[in-house]
Structure 1
Amino acid sequence: MLNDYFNDPIDQATGQNFEVSPQSLMFERLVSNMQSTLDEEVFFDDSDWPEGFDWGNDRDAVWEGLAEDAFLLARFRTRKPADKLLCRAAGVIHRAIRSKSMVELEAAQVKLAKIMQSAAPARVYFMLEEAELCLEQMAERAEADDPANDLGFTPDA
C-alpha cells in the first residue's frame, strides 16, 4: 500500500479524494519530510543529544537528502498540468533549500506564490500551501537565528 501523507487532511479540507499520481506522492513525501525536519529543528539542539552526536552534520545531511528529492521531482516529466505544477514547485523547494541568502530564499517564496496562482485542483493547491508554509518557516528561522541573514545551511545542503 502506498503512503499518502496528506490524504486525510486533504479529504477533510476539500471534501475530495483523488487517485494520486507518482508526482503527487513524491511531493507529499517531500513536504511532509520538510515539515518533520523543521519541527525537529525547533525542538532539538546539541544539548538534547549525548556527547559525540553531531546534530549540525546530521541536520545538514537531512537537508541534503531533501534537496536531492526535490531536484529529482523537479526533473520528472509529465503531461498532467497538476503534476507539472508540483514538479515546478519541487524545483522551487530545491532552490530554497540551496539558497545561501535571504534574498535567494525570498525569491523562491515569490516564485512559489506565482505557481500557486495557476489553476489547480483543491488537492494540489492544498499541497502547495503546505510547501509555502515550510518556506515561510525556513525564512522565519533564518531571520531569527542569524541577524546577518546567513541561512545556516552549508553550501552542500
Structure 2
Amino acid sequence: MVMDKPKPGECTKEEEAEQVKAQWEPKDDKTLDKLKQAIVTGPILKRPNPKRRFYLKTDWSSNAMGAVLLQADTTEEAEESMRKEIEGGKCEFNKSMSKLRLRPIAFISRICKGKECDYHSFVGEAATGRWAMKKFQQWLIGKEFTWITDCSGLTKFFQGE
C-alpha cells in the first residue's frame, strides 16, 4: 500500500480513511492477517525472572521516546553470551542477525513534550534511558543490567572508548 499526499494528520480522519480504503490491496489483507495471528498466538510478553539479568533497550526521536525491558531466552547460546558479558565482554544481544534472542517483559512509550522535542540526539537518548530506568526501577534497582541504545556517543561513553 502506497500513501500519497496528504500525510496522516494533515487531513481529516474521514479523508485519511478514504485514502487507505482506495489504496488497500489484497496483499495488505494477507499482511494484516499475519499480524493478527502473530499477536494472538504464543506468549507476547515473558514473565520476569528477578534472578536473571535484565536488558533495557531504549530509543528516542524528536517526537517520542520508548523502551522495552527484556530478558534473554534460556538457550545455551544465550546463557554463554550472558556469562561472557558479566565477565566484561561486549553485549552480543544487540546484533540484529544474531541467533541470540531477548524476550520482551514490558513496553513503555510516550510523546516528547516541551524542550524534549529540541534535544540533541545523545541528550534525547540519555533522557530516554533515565526515564525508562525510573519506570522500570522495581526490576533494575540494585542489580546489574545492560542498557542497549543505538546512540553511538552514549555507547562509547559508557564503554570508555
TM-score, reference length from structure 1:
0.24
Larger radius of gyration: 2
Bigger strand fraction: 2
Structure-2-length-normalised TM-score: 0.24
